[in-house]
Amino acid sequence: MKSRTLTTPAPASANRIPFRSHPEAAGGRLCSRTNQRIRLLLADDHPIVRRGIIAALERRPNLEVVGEAADGQEALRKARELQPDVLLADIDMPGLTGLAVTEVLHKELPNVKVLVLSMQTHTEFVLRCLQAGARGYILKQAAPDEFVRAIETVNAGESFFSPDVARLALNQMVRGNGQGPDLADLTAREREVLTHIAEGLYNKEIASRLNIGTRTVETHRERLMRKLDIHSIAGLTRFAIAKGLISLPEMALAEA
């Protein structure tokens, strides 16, 4: 693929393109959708970003942009209506954020794989996306080939993180790995609950997995936060990754 940046819009009308399978959506270059194509819903509140992404993906025969959304509410509505294979969603949108949309879809439509789009490289954002149920995290400034690879990877059921994001996250966790509380401070049950929290499960899901009450899970979480002096889900997730209870996906390590 030629080195075309995603911030340069391809010539198009001012209206959003609702379906790439339409001749006008793909410039007449694509045939009708086949079962092999990955159906993609694109959600970003900046038209120029959507234009650039579509321009980068439209010549890929295995990808089909089935819809666009300009805010979180529209993204959620179209995800329910179209049920795409992959939702590429900006983390910061009006109405509902990309994280809020991810959390709802993770519960309602787990087959829709969410790939978060952002300009942020902070570890906190990455871990929060993991906790919300996202399958990947890609930077807006990524090259077109990286976008394609990310979409194909999450559609295959694996996880994808932009190399710069994975590198920064891993470096931060390595720097803090030898400091603060240790797993030895936790009971076996607390470690189980912590692992499931870091995997993004809700209290009811954890209770079902461990065959305990939801209130018991809440009590364990409160004790974890008090023992570890960590007071957010993202912080607990970071601690779990740093201590090896869960790991950043192998894809992130390979790309880093």
Q: Out of 3.40.50.720, 1.10.10.10, 3.30.2320.80, 2.60.40.10, which CATH number does the structure's domain 182-246 have?
A: 1.10.10.10
Residue 58 is predicted with a pLDDT of 83
> Per-residue confidence at 131, pLDDT binned at 50, 70, 90?
confident
| Same fold flag, 38-161 and 182-246 | no
What's the pLDDT tens digit per position in 58-85?
Answer: 889 999 999 999 999 999 999 999 999 9
- 């959708």: which residue's tokens? 33
Q: What is the pLDDT of residues 15-52, one digit of tens each?
A: 443 333 333 333 333 333 345 799 999 999 999 999 99
Task: Give the whole-angstrom CA distance, residue 120 versus residue 134.
Answer: 15
Share of the chain above pLDDT 90, in %: 41
Picking from 240, 244, 243, the residue whose alpha carbon sits closest to that of residue 221 is 240
Q: Give residue 35's pLDDT.
A: 54
Q: What was the pLDDT predicted at 180?
A: 57
Place 174 in a pLDDT band, splitting at 50, 70 and 90: low
* Cβ atoms 85, 40 nearer than 8 A: yes
Helix (H, G, I), strand (E, B) or coil at 183: helix
Q: Give pLDDT, residue 248.
A: 52
Which of 22-26's residues contact partners 24+ apart within 8 Å by CB, and which partners? Answer: 25/58, 25/65, 26/58
CB atoms within 10 A of CB 223: 15
Split at pLDDT 50, 70, 90, the class of 92 is confident
Q: Which residue has the higher pLDDT, 247 or 43?
A: 43
Taking residues 143-158, what's their average pLDDT? 92
Res 34: pLDDT: 41
Give the sheet arrangement for strand 86-90, strand by strand.
63-69, 38-43, 86-90, 113-118, 136-139, 160-161
Q: pTM of the prediction?
A: 0.57
Where in the chain are the domains? Answer: 38-161, 182-246
**Region 164-171: what's the mean pLDDT?**
66
Res 207: pLDDT: 94
Lowest mean pLDDT among 163-167, 190-194, 249-253: 249-253
Specify whether domain 38-161 bears CATH 3.40.50.2300. yes
